[in-house]
Structure 1
Amino acid sequence: MADLSVDFANTVYLRRGRTQDAIGDPEGLADWLRDRRLVTGGDDASHTDVLRLRDAVRRLFAALAEGRSPDTNDVAELNVAAAQAPTWPELRVDGDQTLLLHHTHATGRRALLADVARDAMRVIEAATTHPLRRCAAPACVVLYHPERASQRWCSSACGNRARVARHHATRRGAPAPPT
């Protein structure tokens, strides 16, 4: 699976030029969680808490992708969410197998939000070696990790749409859309 926090941030996307929110209502959130086999029960964190963290993660990742400094309020939101479910490691050795397990007393959505926040921190920390970019296609807002340095689009479909838009613009004599 892709980074949990990047997937979480990308729950806002464009479809036919209109902004969509996959988790904008409680039913959408339940579907998103179920589709990813994540916690679906527990109402220890409100839907508003979930959206507030998602929006903070999106803004932090956008700042990262655009080379801007992150907003201190968004950093604080991430820190608060991560602290809601303290974890501790446990090392288990069974013969020649070694397992590192992580435990928490938190359950439900609080634990999920803490996992998302910690994953976002990891993505931000690793950005120098594993950058995060915003898709350069005109009608896309997806954040992604490029597979190669020259990659400009999140998918081949976005690349094709951008090239087609540029082709149509040049045939009409209009300036090509930015890509």
Structure 2
Amino acid sequence: MEPWAALELASTIRHDGEGGVTDELDTVQGLKRWIHQQRAVLDGHAPEGEGVVDEELRARVVDVRRAVRALFARAVSPVRPSPPDAHRLMPAEQAVARLNTAAALVPVVPQLVWPLQGPPSAHLSATRDDPHALLIAALARAAVDFLGGPQRERLRACTAPRCVRYFVQSHGRQEWCKPSCGNRARAARHYDRHHRTPDGPPAPP
């Protein structure tokens, strides 16, 4: 699974478009939708079969997400983290232990693949059949790879009004996760400059 799966998991908490925040994983059906949408990113670790995605799996995925978002908050420090859960993040030491425990759920061994036509290649293969453990371990390992790799240095929390996403900077001055957030931030700054009272905060519109 690609390290970027960790960013996709963290982004399941997002702005709802109306001034609030929504959690894409707040129900089993929401988790099913997310897994379906992220099949390419999950790279073969998506659970298959009726009834496999259940409340137990949802709770475990959310637990991994809590650890990921806590460590994302640490990674962007001293800049403020994404606001929705910043006031109730688990301690960083606990988050590290949670990820490492989850990543160790499924043994991974190297496997040689050598087709009749073409060169050989080595792959890492999980050796456990529990579909819950396969997904949880894969998500945790993606987070370990992400946080232990160079992309951690470019991780930022979007500063646009109402946005709650983390993103990886594509250039050094990038402040927002997408152009629409940049437009909203510039509009807010323009409003602030032209409606600020001499002695205090901006005047109401």
2:34 is aligned, of 29, 32, 40, to: 32
- Give the 3-state SS of the residue equivalent to 2:163 in structure 1: coil
1:165 is aligned, of 188, 192, 203, to: 188
Query: Unaligned 5+ residue runs, structure 1?
Result: none
Residue 22 of structure 1 contacts residue 32 of structure 1 at CA under 8 Å; is this kept in 2?
yes
| Amino acid across the alignment from 1:112 | L
Q: Relative to 1, partners in 2 of residues 1:121 and 1:153: Cα closer, same or farther, differing over 3 Å?
A: same
2:173 is aligned, of 115, 126, 150, to: 150
- Give the 3-state SS of the residue equivalent to 2:160 in structure 1: coil
Q: 1:128: how far off?
A: 6.8
Residue 158 of structure 2 contacts residue 167 of structure 2 at CA under 8 Å; is this kept in 1?
yes
Which segment drifts farther, 22-31 or 58-67?
58-67
| Amino acid across the alignment from 1:3 | W
Which segment drifts farther, 12-21 or 36-45?
36-45
- Give the 3-state SS of the residue equivalent to 2:110 in structure 1: strand
CA RMSD after TM alignment: 2.4
1:89 is aligned, of 97, 102, 110, to: 110
Residue 84 of structure 1 contacts residue 114 of structure 1 at CA under 8 Å; is this kept in 2?
yes
| Amino acid across the alignment from 2:24 | A
> Aligned ranges for residues 99-114 of structure 1 at < 5 Å?
99-106=121-128, 107-114=130-137
In the other structure, the counterpart of 1:22 is 24
Q: 1:2: how far off?
A: 7.5
| Amino acid across the alignment from 1:13 | R
Q: Relative to 1, partners in 2 of residues 1:63 and 1:127: Cα closer, same or farther, differing over 3 Å?
A: farther
> TM-score when scaled to structure 1?
0.87
Query: Unaligned 5+ residue runs, structure 2?
Result: 80-90
Number of residue pairs matched by the alignment: 175
Residue 64 of structure 2 contacts residue 136 of structure 2 at CA under 8 Å; is this kept in 1?
yes
Between the aligned partners of 1:50 and 1:170, the Cα distance in structure 2 is 43
1:72 is aligned, of 89, 93, 96, to: 93
Task: Indicate the percent of aligned positions where both proteins have the same amino acid.
Answer: 31
Alignment of 1:58 onto 2:69? yes
Between the aligned partners of 1:165 and 1:98, the Cα distance in structure 2 is 55
Q: 1:138: how far off?
A: 2.2
Between the aligned partners of 1:2 and 1:46, the Cα distance in structure 2 is 20
Which segment drifts farther, 82-91 or 156-165?
82-91
Structure number with bigger Rg: 2
Q: 1:46: how far off?
A: 2.9
